[in-house]
Amino acid sequence: MSGYRLLIVDDDPEVHEMLGAMLKSTSWSAEFSHSGEKALELLQERAYDVVLADILMPEMDGLTLLTRIADSRPETKVLIMTAENRPDRIAGSMRGKAAGYLSKPFSKDQLMDALADARALHVEPDDIEVLSDRPNWISVRARCKMDVAERLIRFFREAPTVLDSEQRDVAANAFRELLINAIEHGGKLDPEKKVELHFVRTHSSIVYYIRDPGQGFSLDKLPHAAISHPGDPTQHTKVREELGIRPGGFGLLLLNNFADELIYNSKGNEVILIKRI
């Protein structure tokens, strides 16, 4: 069989039909199960590149199935999906070593991106430690690895808010910049080091807090960042070329444009982003 093998686990036959239609003429070949028990039987018989499992199922829910798969087939990548999106379910998916998380309804493009990311991920059992799963406060401690960053971005993008889809994308990009900066510059991509991040939902705002293990930085000494050249935000690209730094440098400019408040500690290795809603 060419392409990739996908097992879809959902007790709703209409979901099977919808996802089957989405996957036509793609590189994914889908098989279907209506229960967690049947899914485990299928996993004993053959390997799948990704399992896409719903949370709300009778007898065995998706998070229990996730744990069972981690015990019996730890190499299997599991994507969790749910129509009732809640912070504790996002945290439970991270705690269960899920490769990603999708809130229903989702588009074909969102599905294909999530499947491709899940298949490519290398998930280690201790990459992400969940510290809090309260409805208004999710926090984790994670290793300074780029694939861990991309995984976290997917989870935190789905955190319930009142933002519309366009604002949610902007918020996800802002969070991505904060996290990538923390892992790449603060943690130096050292998997032995860890970042701590929090998503807090107050009555009137969304708050991101990130602390990295680095030495910090001074906002006044960032010639390689676009924000340091307000008259010419592309001038920093020449500095980055001279220093041998990858293309980029627009992160702080993006964050300043999105955030209502962006607060750094004196050392520069802790940041709070506040977006009023």
Same domain, 154 and 202: yes
Question: How far is 77 from 73, CA to CA, in rounded Å?
Answer: 9
Express each pLDDT in 139-186 by its tens digit: 999 999 999 998 998 888 887 677 777 777 788 888 888 898 899 889
Same domain, 138 and 269: yes
Same domain, 162 and 273: yes
* Model confidence band, residue 122 (pLDDT cutoffs 50, 70, 90): confident
Range from 76-90, 207-221, 231-245, 246-260 carrying the lowest mean pLDDT: 231-245
Backbone angles phi, psi at 265, to 5 degrees: -75, 175
Which pLDDT belongs to residue 245? 57
Same domain, 68 and 204: no
CB-based burial of residue 66 (10 Å sphere; 0-12 exposed, 13-18 middle, 19+ buried)? buried
- 200 pLDDT more than 80: yes
CATH of the domain at 132: 3.30.565.10
* Model confidence band, residue 218 (pLDDT cutoffs 50, 70, 90): low
- Give the domain range for residue 240: 125-277
Could you give the C-alpha distances from 145 to 94, 113, 118, 217, 249, in angstroms and in order?
16, 20, 15, 20, 19
Express each pLDDT in 92-104 by its tens digit: 999 999 999 999 9
Same domain, 137 and 7: no
- Among residues 45, 80, 50, 87, the alpha carbon closest in space to that of 65 is found at 80
* Model confidence band, residue 7 (pLDDT cutoffs 50, 70, 90): very high
The SS3 call for residue 261 is strand
Same domain, 179 and 222: yes
DSSP of 199-231, one letter per residue? EEE-SSEEEEEEE-SS----TTS-TTSGGG-TT
The SS3 call for residue 271 is strand
The SS3 call for residue 192 is coil
CATH of the domain at 102: 3.40.50.2300
159 vs 227, residue with greater confidence: 159
Question: How far is 102 from 52, CA to CA, in rounded Å?
Answer: 9
- Among residues 61, 53, 58, the alpha carbon closest in space to that of 77 is found at 53
Same domain, 195 and 254: yes
Amino acid 248 reads: G
Same domain, 161 and 25: no
